[in-house]
C-alpha cells in the first residue's frame, strides 16, 4: 500500500525559507511523476509543482515560479519542495502526491491518486 508522508511545514516570517520533504513507500517511486499541491482555507486545492520520474521535466505554478524548487531523490524514495521568499499568500496545507498511473507526466490534481496527509505552512507578515 502506497504511503506518502510530508514533513517540514511550520510558521515562518515573510521572506523566509522552508524545505518540505515527502517520504514515499509502497511504490516504485522512480516510475512516477511527483507533484506538490496546496490548499488554503476556503480555497480549492491548487497545483504548485511537478517533476517527472527522471527529474528532468519540471513545471511550476506561475505564483511560485522563481521562488520554489522541486526535486527528488529516487534512491531514497524522497521528494522535496524548497520554498524561498515566502509570502503570506503561500500559507496553506501542502500535499505531495503520486499519479494513479506510472510513467506518464501529469500535473492535474485529478490525475493524482495517492496523497499524503499534508503539512501546514504558515507565513506571517
CB contact at 8 A, 109 and 37: yes
Per the model's pLDDT, the better-predicted residue between 103 and 54 turns out to be: 54
Question: What residues contact 99, with CB distance under 8 A and at least 6 apart?
Answer: 32, 33, 35, 106, 111, 112, 113, 114
39, 20, 24: which is closest to 82 by C-alpha? 20
**What's the pLDDT at 67?**
98
**Neighbouring C-alpha atoms within 13 Å toward the C-beta of 56:** 1
What is the per-residue pLDDT for 15?
98
Does the structure show a pLDDT above 90 at 103? Answer: no
pLDDT in tens, 45-94: 999 999 999 999 999 999 999 999 999 999 999 999 999 999 999 999 99
What is the Cα 79 distance to its own chain's centre?
8
Q: Is the pLDDT of residue 116 over 90?
A: yes
Amino acid at each position: 500500500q502506497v504511503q506518502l508522508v510530508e514533513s517540514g511545514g511550520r510558521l515562518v516570517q515573510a521572506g523566509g525559507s522552508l524545505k518540505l520533504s515527502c517520504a514515499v513507500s509502497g511504490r516504485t517511486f522512480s516510475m512516477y511523476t511527483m507533484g506538490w499541491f496546496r490548499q488554503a482555507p476556503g480555497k480549492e486545492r491548487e497545483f504548485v509543482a511537478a517533476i517527472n520520474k527522471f527529474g528532468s521535466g519540471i513545471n511550476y505554478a506561475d505564483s511560485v515560479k522563481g521562488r520554489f524548487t522541486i526535486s527528488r531523490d529516487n534512491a531514497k524514495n524522497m521528494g522535496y519542495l524548497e520554498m524561498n521568499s515566502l509570502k503570506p499568500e503561500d500559507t496553506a496545507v501542502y500535499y505531495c502526491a503520486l499519479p494513479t498511473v506510472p510513467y506518464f507526466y501529469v500535473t492535474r490534481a485529478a490525475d493524482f491518486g495517492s496523497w499524503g496527509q499534508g503539512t501546514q505552512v504558515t507565513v506571517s507578515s
